[in-house]
Amino acid sequence: MKIAIAGYGLEGESNYNYWSIDESNDVTIVDQKKPERDLPGDAKTLIGENVMENLADFDIVVRTAGLAPYKIKTNGKIWSATNEFFDKCPAPIIGVTGSKGKGTTASLIASILERSGRNVWLLGNIGKPPLDVLGDIQQSDIVVYELSSFQLWDLEKSPHIAVVLFIEQEHQNVHTSMEDYVMAKANVTKYQNEGDILIYNQSNQYAKFIADGSRAQLIGYTDLSTAHVSDGNFYYGEQVICSVDVLKLIGKHNQDNACAAIDAAWHFTQDTGVISSGLSAFSGLPHRLSFVKDVDGVKYYDDSIATTPNAAIAALKSFKDPKVIILGGSSKGGDFSEMAVELKNQDVTAILIGSEAENIANSCKAAGFDGFEIMENSTMKQIVDKAKSMSKSGGVVLLSPACASFGMFKDYADRGDQFQAAVMAL
């Protein structure tokens, strides 16, 4: 079989290794520019700016997640690592998607299920490339799979349990429209049937839209009949599980993520001690409201993963103390108007950075918020030094940019790492 591996990053390398095991396959690495990763010495390659438009001779084109299917021109089948994994995986899959909170919710589900005694694989955008471990997964295991819209774009088989978190404008620089983005997310339940389960954010219009088109059993998380928070405790229906204080993650949005995780795990364990232990054991993922350091009575938090306005709003709402927030970066097509209103209602000063600084400033002005300073082309050290000078004792300095990182930084992790380094140097 003639196979094109389209895109050669971490996932592309995994795809190449997987399909090259069968020596009868004729495998070619295809990329629009020379990959940064070392190529196998004997690999066939097609490298060039327009190469994705000229793949007619291949039986299968295996796209990397961030490569849109509509950019590939072929007479063969467009496929992906996610499709291959879902097609071949012998274990039940819990698939988690949403604009933000996917990694946290998936990790909480895995943490709970591991403490129930199950062998759990945490895969997708988080953890190991799925095809690297496919051969090791047993029927008695459970897979928790974090799913981005890029992985869901052309998914042909939905997970047994799907979780749809809060959805907002995201990746509008890649998707053709908001409709394209939401319909990609909807594939998480598209192929479910009455024996499957969809857990969804019933307060979010896009998640509700997806649920309305589903054939699965519907569970709205934070519903009083399932997992929810009341009187400082997590409940499942009328059953008390544990205090919310066992959760080591800051913010109401993370309590909501925990409720979604409880609902997903409940189908495998109803042991409240196990659930409490699983929630407590997870201390958070890097760059997600991560505490960095206390400097002169001011706490610094790295929330670099917050690449959308609503993620920044959730971060702002997580603290009652006076805040300095660092906002801005490169565009993902987000609308900053609601965030600007939240800024006006908070005790906060904003530092605006990156190419979106002016757009955020315009939204702030329209909302009547003028407590900002633009530092569009500054280094992270300069930005953190400015934040320190603007902070109040007992307050918080928060990197929660509401934008992508590109232009100033390699990615959100690089941005967060530079922020942490600058804070530690104070």
Q: How many alpha carbons fall within 13 Å on the CB side of residue 335?
A: 7
How much is the pLDDT for 19? 98
Domain C-terminal end among 281, 298, 328: 281
pLDDT of residue 126: 81
pLDDT digits (tens, 9 = 90+) for 350-362: 999 999 999 999 9
CATH code for the domain of 45: 3.40.50.720
Same domain, 187 and 129: yes
Let me know whether 43 and 138 are in one domain: no
pTM confidence score: 0.91
Q: Same domain for 102 and 225?
A: yes
Domain's final residue, options 281, 305, 336? 281
**How sure is the predictor about 148, in pLDDT bands with cuts at 50, 70 and 90?**
very high
| Same domain, yes or no: 312 and 381 | yes
The CATH number linked to 297 is 3.90.190.20
Residues above pLDDT 90, as percent of the chain: 92
> How far apart (Å, rounded) are the C-alpha atoms in residues 391 and 297?
10
Same domain? 180 vs 273: yes
Does 402 lie in the same domain as 299?
Answer: yes
Note the pLDDT of residue 223. Answer: 87
The domain in which residue 60 lies consists of 2-75
Residue-level pLDDT at 334? 84
Domain final position from 75, 94, 119:
75
Note whether 261 and 380 are same-domain residues. Answer: no
Q: How far apart are the C-alpha atoms of 113 and 107, rounded to whole Å? A: 10
Amino acid identity of 95?
Answer: G
Considering only 102-106, 121-125, 276-280, which range has the smallest mean pLDDT? 121-125
Are residues 191 and 228 both part of a single domain?
yes
Q: Do 94 and 58 fall within a single domain?
A: no
Please tell me whether residues 143 and 276 are part of one structural domain: yes
| Residues 18, 22, 23, 29, CA torsion sign | negative
pLDDT in the model for residue 173: 67
